[in-house]
Amino acid sequence: MSKLRLTAAIAATVLITSFGVTSATSAIASPSAAPRPHLSQIRPDSYFEATDEGEGATLQAAERQAVMFLHGDYWGCVPPYTFTGDGQLADGTWWADIEELCQGYN
């Protein structure tokens, strides 16, 4: 192997190795990899039945809005959620009620 090829191979190996170490270090130090403190303090008996409702032009839109509102108002919710009621209003729009076990209010 020529001296130029050997130097290029060593440089490539050093570059690849340093990239791997840098990537691993940044992944460890990134905030998304850190555990959330409030989730480490969850007790199984701390769940309560959270309820919310949504409205929309269709039943599907009302259900989507209900899920969005529920997850916006509460944290630590565990699936599955249950739709407990729905119906059509006088103006033709729909409403939907939802409930799910959650751990706290946002």
Cα separation, 41 vs 101, whole angstroms? 17
CATH number at residue 77: 3.30.1660
Q: How far is CA 63 from CA 55, 93, 97, in A?
A: 7, 12, 8
Residues 72, 26 share a domain: no
Task: Give residue 40's pLDDT.
Answer: 47
Asked whether residue 12 falls in the same domain as residue 55, the answer is: no
Give pTM, 2 decimals: 0.57
Dihedral sign of CA atoms 51, 55, 59, 61 in order = negative
pLDDT at 45 over 60: yes
Judge if 93 and 64 occupy the same domain.
yes
Domain shared by 48 and 94, yes or no: yes
pLDDT of residue 46: 85
Residues 50 and 93 in one domain: yes
User: Domain limits at 49?
Assistant: 42-105
Same domain, 94 and 60: yes
Considering the domain architecture, whether residues 28 and 71 belong to the same structural domain is answered as no
Residue 9 — very low, low, confident or very high, per pLDDT cuts 50/70/90? low
Q: State whether 48 and 97 are in the same domain.
A: yes
Residues 18 and 55 occupy one common structural domain: no
Q: pLDDT of 60-80, one tens digit each?
A: 999 999 999 999 999 999 999
